[in-house]
A = this chain, B = another copy of it.
Amino acid sequence: MKRSIPVRAVPADPNELAADDVAHDECGVLGISTPHGEGVAQLSFFGLFALQHRGQEAAGIAVSDGKRARVHKEPGLVSTVFTPEALAPLTGYHAIGHTRYSTTGSNAERNIQPFLVETMHGPLSVAHNGNLVNATTLRDELLHKGFGLTATSDTEVFTLMLAAAGGQTWQERIERTLPAWKGAFSLVILAADQVMAVRDPWGFRPLSVGRLPNGGHAVASETCALTTLGCVDIDEVRPGEMVTLRGAEIERTQVLAPQANGARCTFEFVYFSRPDSVWADKSVHHVRQQLGVELARESMVDADVVIPVPDSSIPAAIGFSTESGLPFNDGLIKNRYIGRTFIEPTQDIRERGVALKFNALTENLEGKRVIMIDDSLVRGTTAGPLVKLLRDAGAAEVHMRITCPPITHACHFGVDMGHDDDLMAARLSVAEMEAHIGADSLAFLSLDGMMRAVAGREAGADDGHCNACFTGDYPISVGDAQAKLAFEGVLN
């Protein structure tokens, strides 16, 4: 589920804003089917645990024993939602799971996934990563058919359309319904006796499949979940493909032709995915190191040390260091326990900005010319305080280097970057941003440089990726997306 244009129901914690300038990926999905039924819920748990970085607000698992389906889902981290008591009743052969990012709201609970309904064809449960750009239209169609909708999520749209699609099999229903869905979706679908996974023909969001060591198969948003489960023969689910897992069996069907070269989200490589995931045959960690290499080639500056903003920028900083020959070192230490806190900082603390999240290592910075590598600037709220933190620790110069181009457009395909207006680079030039954050220099990786690292070629129509947040060239028209907010407020 993705709310492309989120509305904050509660005022954000000022400290949180200051310390958290990242885009949020929304949701990880997982599906498992085994012939033996041993520990299906446990496997789902451990798989979701590896997808926790894709959503920390809620988690859910639905399991079918061949006849009946049950779901357990609630707000919280995977490890807190799934106690032994919660997992115990989830017995069966087939399962889907979900980790969710969402904005705060009193009715958020009804949007927690997987969504489970009874249909004339038996139980049906769906979980989703992505965002439908024509959700408003599809919702209206459902409403005008007389449906009552209980949630505000795309997932209910998928579910009810599938339930009403006619046809003899769930595969047939998916084939009938798929053409109507415009946008990004990596879906997992649970029926009484099988799990299905579908990926939009653009391939915006990742989805992979693998063979479980003890029989059966698993699909997951990222391969890190599959390797955690010990999967072998891991392969990407192709754009437009439907995969059916039924005990020991697996069927793969190309339902819709992939859209041209596809539109994989580049930002998954830059920031979202776990570095130990592999997507499009590329190691995310390796791509990030290459982003650092390309960045060094493009925007080298004479300096004494290269430091990452931990943790996500470490590989790129290593790559920059390797390519530039400048020494890599830690310059910032991150509090490992950072998370949501609702305590308002005192004025002392507030003025120190990112102090709660980072401390500077004076001995590695004092008197030095520092190149600080960060993965991206979204709202741009932490860059300034970080630069100041380095200077306070004695850095002689601070050169900020970003491993992607300026983000100038909101995402409508599953990433919460805020409105266009929230984006620093949509309002300011690079020179203005440099002045704003107080760095000696600021440089972004070029689109071509990024694509060389990500795809091994220059950017262009044939690069197979969605770079809309950098370019504004949305692979699908998003005019409809603006209307999506309209219905999101009706029920809450």
Which residues from chain A sit less than 8 Å from chain B, CB to CB? 38-39, 42-43, 45-46, 49-50, 52-53, 56, 68-72, 77-79, 82-84, 87, 89, 106-107, 116-120, 122-124, 140, 143-150, 152, 159-160, 163-166, 212-214, 224, 227-230, 274-276, 283, 285-286, 289, 311, 314-315, 318, 322, 327-330, 333, 335-337, 339-349, 351-352, 355-356, 359-364, 487, 489-492
Find chain B residues with CB under 8 A from A333 CB: 224, 274-276, 285
Contact A120 B107 (CB under 8 A): no
Q: Give 7 new A-B contacts, CB below 8 A, not counting A78-B337, A116-B491.
A: A42-B346, A49-B337, A50-B335, A83-B342, A146-B165, A212-B348, A224-B333
Contact B46 A356 (CB under 8 A): yes
Q: Give which listed residue, B49, B148, B164, B361, contacts A118 with CB less than 8 A.
A: B148
The winner among A79, A286, A348, A490 for most chain B CB atoms within 10 A is A348
Q: 8 tightest CB-CB pairs across the interface, nearest first?
A: A146-B164, A117-B148, A39-B346, A120-B143, A276-B333, A148-B163, A276-B359, A52-B337
Contact A119 B148 (CB under 8 A): yes
Contact A489 B68 (CB under 8 A): yes
Q: Give which listed residue, B50, B72, B318, B359, contacts A328 with CB less than 8 A.
A: B318
Find chain B residues with CB under 8 A from A148 CB: 117-119, 124, 159-160, 163-164
Q: Which residue from chain B places its CB closest to the CB of A39 in the assembled complex?
A: B346
Q: How far, in angstroms, from A87 to B341 measured CA to CA in the complex?
A: 12
Contact A348 B229 (CB under 8 A): yes
Contact A276 B361 (CB under 8 A): yes
Contact B348 A214 (CB under 8 A): yes
Contact A166 B143 (CB under 8 A): no
Q: How far, in angstroms, from A348 to B318 measured CA to CA in the complex?
A: 34
Q: How far, in angstroms, from A227 to B70 measured CA to CA in the complex?
A: 43
Q: How far, in angstroms, from A107 to B38 measured CA to CA in the complex?
A: 23
CB-CB under 8 A for A163 and B146, given A49-B341, A275-B330, A335-B50: yes
CB-CB under 8 A for A68 and B276, given A106-B89, A150-B117, A333-B224: no
Q: Give which listed residue, B123, B166, B490, contacts A123 with CB less than 8 A.
A: B490
Q: How far, in angstroms, from A362 to B318 measured CA to CA in the complex?
A: 17
CB-CB under 8 A for A362 and B283, given A83-B342, A230-B352: yes
Find chain B residues with CB under 8 A from A349 CB: 42-43, 46, 228-230
Find chain B residues with CB under 8 A from A489 CB: 68
Q: Which residue from chain B places its CB closest to the CB of A490 in the assembled complex?
A: B118
CB-CB under 8 A for A314 and B335, given A42-B344, A117-B149: no
Q: Give which listed residue, B42, B140, B144, B335, contacts A343 with CB less than 8 A.
A: B42
Contact A328 B328 (CB under 8 A): yes
Q: Which residue from chain B places its CB closest to the CB of A321 in the assembled complex?
A: B328
A35 to chain B, nearest CB (A): 14
Contact B343 A315 (CB under 8 A): no
Find chain B residues with CB under 8 A from A346 CB: 38-39, 42-43, 46
CB-CB under 8 A for A359 and B227, given A117-B148, A150-B150, A165-B146: yes
A480 to chain B, nearest CB (A): 18
Q: How far, in angstroms, from A409 to B176 measured CA to CA in the complex?
A: 49
Q: How far, in angstroms, from A315 to B124 measured CA to CA in the complex?
A: 50
Q: How far, in angstroms, from A359 to B39 measured CA to CA in the complex?
A: 21
Q: How far, in angstroms, from A71 to B83 measured CA to CA in the complex?
A: 26
Contact A49 B491 (CB under 8 A): no
Contact B361 A275 (CB under 8 A): yes
Q: Give which listed residue, B70, B145, B213, B330, contacts A107 with CB less than 8 A.
A: B70
A244 to chain B, nearest CB (A): 20
Find chain B residues with CB under 8 A from A341 CB: 49, 79
